[in-house]
Structure 1
């Protein structure tokens, strides 16, 4: 009796090298255990900060990035550094801070997956990101919709620098020294910043208001 030979299993394609930035070691170990079960994905680098990952200079295709890290770096700052590695970045987060998710979306992350999702969902998300697809989710869509509703105040690069420092708690004199400008110039910038935010119905009368606008626009990390 002739038997039809079994077809060989499909080629899973190249193995994608994945890194994770998360300051909870157990999260990285869990992701490593999940990916070890698949021939097309491998976790090859774990780091608590983006600086640590970049300094290690691993050869990576994908990075899972926690958006809230102990070093208080912002998603915008971390995405800029990871972009220089030429990797695709997926936000891997609890999703409990929409402002961080909006900032990540604005900064070019390929999508988002919650840490509470199943292993199968994580694997599917990484495969989709490796194919160049957006890793969509309800949280991701909501964050993007909310971001579209926040009007850009149109700050210049210098105004953004002043706002980041001033809203973080620095006094005008120190901001002036840090940026190499006069105190009067700093105060002029602050006045223009307040005016620009007011023009798009985002009030910034007080320093607390300025802090909130800086967090919304990704210049400062939200409080932990």
Structure 2
């Protein structure tokens, strides 16, 4: 299967470099390039790519706002120079399924596109450490919802009471950082069935991505 990719970045040279990297692989096809957030949203809705590589700082509509509009349409992989917390947590709350820095090498970028296209999530190692740190921080009491607060810290935790026993098992596996293929092997079912369970539990829990599901699973298992 050819993975259709839309590249959204306001710098033409950056877009050209990304396209050059991706087009060198037979299983990936760049179907469009967007120079701002509004164009990215319009093109993604028209072209229906499997993955959108999204910059954050763009004119007209920033990458986080664009991701929020597209999270129900396609999978968004953030690719940015900036890994400040406001962007990391904002992108994940908006529904991004991955977050990479632009200093990622070419091979890792290509593999990230493949991972996201398979339905799995992927986050830059340096960002992962900060997510773990934020999740592990002691929170004495719940606070009102704040979209800029780290996922899993100080906000209301939705319950998993509406999930089937199998969906609960899948959620627990997601919380352990397992891919769809690993979950399928662990629970002895087809990978396509795993994808269906993941999609259904995200819908039931009102979550935008498996990254959010993983953090919720950690919250539920720790009782926070």
* TM-score, with structure 2 as normaliser: 0.57
Match of 2:12 in 1: 25
Q: Is the 8 A contact 2:37 2:61 kept in 1?
A: no
Aligned match of 2:22: 35
| Residue number in structure 2 paired with 1:153 | 143
Q: CA deviation at 1:102?
A: 1.5
Query: CA 1:136 to 1:24, structure 2 compared with 1: closer, same or farther past 3 Å?
Result: same
Query: Deviations 1:69-116 (Å, cap 9, x if unpaired)?
Result: 2336361x222211242x111110113422101211222211111111
Q: Structure 2: any 5+ residue segments left out of the alignment?
A: 147-153, 155-224
After superposing the two structures, state which structure 1 stretch, 91-100 or 138-147, moved more.
138-147
Task: Give runs of aligned pairs for residues 37-116 of structure 1, distance below 5 A.
Answer: 37-56=24-43, 57-71=46-60, 73=62, 75=64, 77-85=65-73, 87-116=74-103
CA displacement, residues 21-63 of structure 1 (integer Å, 9 cap, x when unaligned): 1111111111111111101111111112231123232121000
| Alpha-carbon RMSD | 2.6
Q: 1:20 Cα deviation (Å)?
A: 1.4
CA distance in 1, matches of 2:39, 2:130: 28
In 2, the alpha carbon distance for the partners of 1:28 and 1:153 equals 40
Q: 1:102 touches 1:143 (CA, 8 Å); kept in 2?
A: no
Greater Cα radius of gyration, structure 1 or 2: 1
Name the CA distance, whole Å, in 2 between partners of 1:55 and 1:150. 42
Structure 1 residue runs of 4 or more that deviate by more than 6 Å after TM superposition: none
SS of equivalent residue, structure 1 residue 71: coil
Give how far 1:19 is off. Answer: 0.5
1:72 and 1:36, CA in 2 relative to 1: closer, same or farther beyond 3 A? closer
CA 150–72 in structure 1, closer or farther in 2 if over 3 Å, else same: farther
Matched residue pairs, number?
A: 144
- Residues 42 and 150 (structure 1 numbering): CA distance in 2 closer, same or farther, change over 3 Å? farther
Q: Are the aligned partners of 2:8 and 2:54 in contact in 1 as well (CA < 8 Å)?
A: yes
Please name the residue that 1:123 is paired with.
110
